[in-house]
Amino acid sequence: MTESAPDLLQRKIIHIDMDAFFASVEQRDDPELQGKPVAVGGSSKRGVVAAASYEAREYGVRSAMPSITAKRRCPDLIFVKHRFHVYREVSQQIRAIFRMHSELVEPLSLDEAFIDVTQDKMGIGNATRIAEMIRAEIKKQTNLTASAGVSYNKFLAKIASDQNKPDGICVIKPHQGADFVAQLPVRRFFGVGPKTAERMAKLNIHNGADLRAQSEDFLRQHFGKSAGYLFRASRGVDHREVRADRIRKSVGGERTYGDDLVTDSDLQDAFENIIDIVWNSIEKSGARGRTVTLKAKYADFRQVTRSHSVDHYVADKNEFAAIGRELLEQIMPVENGVRLLGLTLANLEGAEAADARSTASVHDANQSTFDFD
Amino acid sequence: MKATIERAALLKSLGHVQSVVERRNTIPILSNVLIEASDGGGIKLMATDLDLQVVETVEAQVETAGSITVSAHTLFDIARKLPDGSQVQMDAADGKMKVNAGRARFNLQTLPRDDFPIIAEGDLPTRFELPATSLIQIIDKTKFAISTEETRYYLNGIFLHVQDEDTPVLKAAATDGHRLARVTLPRPAGAEGMPDVIVPRKCVNELRKLLDENSESSVQIDLSASKIRFTLGSAILTSKLIDGTFPDYTRVIPTGNDKLLKIDPKSFAQGVDRVSTIATEKTRAVKMALGDDKITLSVTSPENGKAEEEVPGSYTEEAFEIGFNSRYLMDILSEIEGDTVELHLADAGAPTLIRENDKSAALYVLMPMRV
């Protein structure tokens, strides 16, 4: 069968991810901060870390971590306020570098992007060399380092860029894809959070190879609509295209809680944390939107959503938080415990136009494709 | 400008040019047809979408030379509804164009001629001629394989290139990554040294329509690395070429496939068509089980049920099963003219080579589906 055969039109995809982006920019611009543990974000009681320098990471400081926890782990941690206009500028610079090599650039946020270099615009000859040129050019122009993943699909390219971070590169060739995925812990698969990983562990699924041993039916039974993705990804297969015109329709985030939230104050505390995390990713993506949606899942797995639209783009974190709190009040008090809370900003700028453009390009996972390389 | 033209002649030429005009245009002038009447008699009609332009010359009695642009679709609709045999008088003055025929009078809005964009052809150093029948053969046997995926724009057309094999040849190929179609013809005089070009799908479609009415004649082709011009009968079609690199498709044409199936393409296609009745949009896959001198086609759909049909054929290699997208298979089979088609297979995961025989100009490669 064709399972292990490369059954995609062989694409060459690079995933570029800036190393500790916000923190590195701050360290670059303030020599005082160089070599020190730095966190970008608010140091207040409610603040969360938006980005941590590699020095801070050694102490276990991570992005999206409450600032209080971060300070406890690393007492010398220096908090600096974010400067999004600077990050945006750098982001423009690196995107211009990407576009020198391909029209097909899909930014995921200010500091990462997929680049499809199958066409090799500059005629460099191989994708690894292109990735190295991009990294060198980023270093030269911005004095910042980036890591690159090079592979034949988006899933593997993204995983590869994380492999030799910081300032590293990792190439996964078509014949290595399946083996590479086999040894990958399930947590590294997109969409597998701590909760799902726990459920997988109970089923004795720890890595890609374990996942691959399961039938699609089995995966569907246990993991619902992620089944198709998990089935393909565990085989190193990912048919998604790099889409230059892709515009996000929403930005959001959610958390599943180990212990159900029962009291109003537990709920509110957790919610404030969600606001921080989600607003961080909104700022990071540079998105502006008009609709805020709250999602809650109860202990009995019943799910409710509440949303509210305003006639302008949500201006700042305060407005976002205020709308969010109103929505939360609508579902309070909760009779059952809450196991999941999420917030989303939708109706984004530019999304309507993207809707009209998007074409239904259906890829059948079972149809094999030519290997032109 | 003032000219009179026979309704049938106007309708025919407008029919050629108006299909180039996109139905929805953000640039108003692109909705219009340029009408140019010259002193020597005869008028030129021209339409463009900025990538593709058609110019059609028709006989007419010209009273006053001049040029104007009016809505192509409106003028076409008017011509369509006018009584057969009527004489159509077009008279442009003061930003309007009067159209008079029989008892009907129209007064149409116009846009100035100078705003009408014309594709700069530049130098077209390669010139050769192809019989219309050859061009029809190239298009009909490859067009279905052209990719519609806009992100891979370099596959959105037919790739033309010349090669020196035992004898010099001109090859036309199209692929969407799942199937490949290629036609090989003797290289026409004048095509030697021509650049590799990718002719965009819309140009191919318009050309095919024009060829229907000029299937007896030969077509003059002029091209450079960026533009191509087809001259056939009273029409001239000029198109920009796709600026990209077509992949080295020859590498996906299998050479060592040793399992040969010979089968009647008609009963094969009909069988595929019948069993795929069961298939839904999602499961277009048809399974083909090859056994001693027969194949068994089957489709299983979780929603609809099962279908099976046996088709006799000549096959002596080991039995095995392979799956294909039924539509892709039928697209290819419908282009086979003889009463036998050869399928050169390797295994269920490898490309299959399909052709009438080793002398046929057309060759197809089809990737399997997992079933």
DSSP per-residue string spanning B150-188: GGGGGGSEEEEEEEESSSEEEEEEEE-SSEEEEEEEEPP
Q: Sort out which chain A residues have CB atoms less than 8 A from B367's CB and list them.
A: 367-370
Question: Taking a C-beta distance cutoff of 8 angstroms, is the pair A38, A55 a contact?
Answer: yes
Residue range B240-252: average pLDDT? Answer: 92
Residue range B71-76: average pLDDT? Answer: 94
Q: What is the model's pLDDT at position A75?
A: 92
Q: Is A35 exposed, middle or buried (0-12, 13-18, 19+ CB in 10 A)?
A: exposed
What percentage of chain B exceeds 70 in pLDDT?
99
Interface touch A367/B151, C-beta < 8 Å? no
Nearest to B355 by CA among B371, B335, B370, B369: B335
Q: What is the model's pLDDT at position A361?
A: 31
Interface residue B337 vs chain A (CB under 8 A): no
Q: What is the model's pLDDT at position A246?
A: 60
CA distance B17 to B226: 22
Cis peptide before A166 (omega within 30 of 0): yes
What residues contact residue B252 under an 8 Å CB cut-off, 6+ apart? A370, A371, A372, B175, B180, B351, B365
Question: Taking a C-beta distance cutoff of 8 angstroms, is the pair A314, A347 a contact?
Answer: no
pLDDT for B146-187, tens place per residue? 998 777 888 999 999 999 988 999 999 999 989 999 999 999
How far A266 CA lies from chain B's nearest CA (Å)?
46
Minimum Cα–Cα distance from B325: chain A residue: A367
Structure tokens at A189: 């698969």
Interface touch B325/A364, C-beta < 8 Å? yes
Q: Are strands B352-355 and B362-366 parallel, antiparallel or unpaired?
A: antiparallel
CA distance A278 to B334: 55
pTM value surpassing 0.90: no
Indicate the residue of B244, B249, B351 with minimum beta-carbon distance to A119: B244
Q: Sort out which chain A residues have CB atoms less than 8 A from B368's CB and list them.
A: 2, 368
pLDDT for A235-265, tens place per residue? 888 888 888 766 667 888 888 887 888 888 8
Minimum Cα–Cα distance from B326: chain A residue: A367
What percentage of chain A exceeds 70 in pLDDT?
91
Q: What is the model's pLDDT at position B249?
A: 93
How far A237 CA lies from chain B's nearest CA (Å)?
14
Interface touch B151/A116, C-beta < 8 Å? yes
Interface touch B368/A368, C-beta < 8 Å? yes
Q: Does position B26 have pLDDT exceeding 80, yes or no? A: no
CA distance A195 to A207: 15
Structure tokens at B194: 């021509």
How far B116 CA lies from chain A's nearest CA (Å)?
27
Interface touch A369/B178, C-beta < 8 Å? yes
How far B145 CA lies from chain A's nearest CA (Å)?
13
Q: Sort out which chain A residues have CB atoms less than 8 A from B285's CB and list them.
A: 366
pLDDT higher for A145 or A1? A145
Q: Does position B351 have pLDDT exceeding 50, yes or no? A: yes
Interface touch B151/A366, C-beta < 8 Å? no
Residue range B123-130: average pLDDT? Answer: 96
Interface test with A, best of B26, B147, B150, B152 (most A CBs within 10 A): B152
Q: Does position A7 have pLDDT exceeding 50, yes or no? A: no
pLDDT for A156-177, tens place per residue? 999 999 999 899 999 999 889 8
How far A244 CA lies from chain B's nearest CA (Å)?
8
Interface residue A123 vs chain B (CB under 8 A): no
Strand partners, B365: B180, B353
Question: Taking a C-beta distance cutoff of 8 angstroms, is the pair B299, B275 a contact?
Answer: yes
Interface touch B367/A370, C-beta < 8 Å? yes
CA distance B108 to B71: 8
CA distance B201 to B175: 12
Interface residue A132 vs chain B (CB under 8 A): no
Structure tokens at B202: 């819309």
Interface test with B, best of A9, A105, A240, A373 (most B CBs within 10 A): A9
Q: Does position B354 have pLDDT exceeding 70, yes or no? A: yes
Task: Write down the residue that tokens 């600026």 correspond to.
Answer: B243
Q: Does position A2 have pLDDT exceeding 70, yes or no? A: no
Q: Sort out which chain B residues have CB atoms less than 8 A from A5's CB and list them.
A: 349
Residue range B124-153: average pLDDT? Answer: 92
Beta strands in B264-304 (DSSP E): 285-291, 294-301
Strand partners, A107: A113
Structure tokens at B175: 């692929």
Q: What is the model's pLDDT at position B158?
A: 98
How far A7 CA lies from chain B's nearest CA (Å)?
9
Interface touch B151/A371, C-beta < 8 Å? no
Q: What is the model's pLDDT at position A244?
A: 76
Interface residue B369 vs chain A (CB under 8 A): yes
- Other Cβ atoms closer than 10 A to B316: 9
Q: What is the model's pLDDT at position A245?
A: 63
Number of H helices, E strands in chain A: 14, 12
Question: How much of chain B is helix, strand and coil, in % rounded to 5?
Answer: 25, 40, 35
Which of these ranges, A25-34, A216-225, B254-263, has the smallest mean pLDDT?
Answer: A216-225
Q: What is the model's pLDDT at position A113?
A: 94
How far A228 CA lies from chain B's nearest CA (Å)?
14
Residue range B350-359: average pLDDT? Answer: 94
Interface residue A34 vs chain B (CB under 8 A): no
pLDDT for A311-356, tens place per residue? 788 888 888 998 999 899 888 878 778 888 999 998 877 554 333 3
Interface touch A370/B180, C-beta < 8 Å? yes
Q: Sort out which chain A residues have CB atoms less than 8 A from B284's CB and list them.
A: 364
A359 band by pLDDT with thresholds 50, 70 and 90: very low
Interface test with A, best of B150, B155, B178 (most A CBs within 10 A): B178
Residue range B269-283: average pLDDT? Answer: 85
A225 band by pLDDT with thresholds 50, 70 and 90: confident
Specify the 3-state DSSP secondary structure of A312.
coil
What residues contact residue A352 under an 8 Å CB cut-off, 6+ apart? none
Indicate the residue of A1, A361, A368 with minimum beta-carbon distance to B149: A361
Long-range contacts of B13-16 (CB under 8 A, 24+ apart): B13/B45, B13/B56, B13/B57, B13/B58, B13/B234, B14/B45, B14/B72, B14/B75, B14/B76, B14/B79, B15/B76, B16/B45, B16/B54, B16/B56, B16/B209, B16/B210, B16/B235
Highest mean pLDDT among A60-74, A96-110, B354-368: B354-368
Residue range A288-310: average pLDDT? Answer: 86
Q: What is the model's pLDDT at position B281?
A: 65
Q: What is the mean pLDDT of chain B?
A: 92
Q: What is the model's pLDDT at position B61?
A: 94
What percentage of chain A exceeds 90 in pLDDT?
39
pLDDT for B177-190, tens place per residue? 899 999 999 999 99
Interface touch A2/B251, C-beta < 8 Å? no
B283 band by pLDDT with thresholds 50, 70 and 90: low
Q: What is the model's pLDDT at position A50?
A: 84
Chains A and B: how many Cβ contacts under 8 Å?
A: 60
CA distance B299 to B289: 11
3-state SS of B28-85?
HHHHEEEEEECCCCCEEEEEECCCEEEEEEECCEEEECEEEEEEHHHHHHHHHHCCCC
Q: Would you give the distance in Å from CA A257 to the centre of its chain? A: 20
CA distance B333 to B18: 33
Interface residue B29 vs chain A (CB under 8 A): no
ipTM field = 0.74
Highest mean pLDDT among A8-12, A262-266, A271-275, B270-274: B270-274
User: Which position among A55, A112, A137, A272 bears the catalytic label?
Assistant: A112
Structure tokens at B172: 């036309």
Interface touch A368/B370, C-beta < 8 Å? yes
Question: Taking a C-beta distance cutoff of 8 angstroms, is the pair A40, A23 a contact?
Answer: yes
How far A353 CA lies from chain B's nearest CA (Å)?
15
Structure tokens at B235: 């029409």
Q: Does position B348 have pLDDT exceeding 80, yes or no? A: yes
Q: Sort out which chain A residues have CB atoms less than 8 A from B181's CB and list them.
A: none
CA distance A266 to B297: 62
Amino acid in position B52: L
Q: Sort out which chain A residues have CB atoms less than 8 A from B365's CB and list them.
A: 370
pLDDT higher for B19 or B353? B353
Q: What is the model's pLDDT at position A365?
A: 61
Q: Are strands B43-48 and B96-101 parallel, antiparallel or unpaired?
A: unpaired
Vertex B304: Cα angle to B298 and B310 (nearest 5): 20
Q: What is the mean pLDDT of chain A?
A: 84
Question: Taking a C-beta distance cutoff of 8 angstroms, is the pair A79, A39 a contact?
Answer: yes
Interface residue B150 vs chain A (CB under 8 A): yes
Indicate the residue of B178, B282, B348 with minimum beta-carbon distance to A2: B348
Q: Sort out which chain A residues have CB atoms less than 8 A from B154's CB and list them.
A: 119
Q: What is the model's pLDDT at position A4?
A: 36
Q: Sort out which chain B residues have CB atoms less than 8 A from A368's CB and list them.
A: 178, 349, 367-370
Residue range A273-297: average pLDDT? Answer: 85
Interface residue B367 vs chain A (CB under 8 A): yes
* DSSP state for residue A11 in the 8-state scheme: -
B198 band by pLDDT with thresholds 50, 70 and 90: very high
CA distance B329 to B263: 13
Residue range A92-96: average pLDDT? Answer: 91
Structure tokens at B182: 């290629």
Q: Are strands B197-200 and B2-6 parallel, antiparallel or unpaired?
A: unpaired
Interface residue B284 vs chain A (CB under 8 A): yes
Q: Is A112 one of the annotated active-site residues of the chain?
A: yes
Which of these ranges, A33-37, A58-62, A364-368, B367-371, has the smallest mean pLDDT?
Answer: A364-368
Question: Taking a C-beta distance cutoff of 8 angstroms, is the pair B271, B297 a contact?
Answer: yes
Interface residue A244 vs chain B (CB under 8 A): yes
- Other Cβ atoms closer than 10 A to B178: 23
3-state SS of B225-243?
CCEEEEEECCEEEEEECCC
Interface touch A241/B150, C-beta < 8 Å? no
A14 band by pLDDT with thresholds 50, 70 and 90: very high
pLDDT for B290-341, tens place per residue? 999 999 999 988 778 899 999 999 999 999 999 999 999 999 999 999 999 9
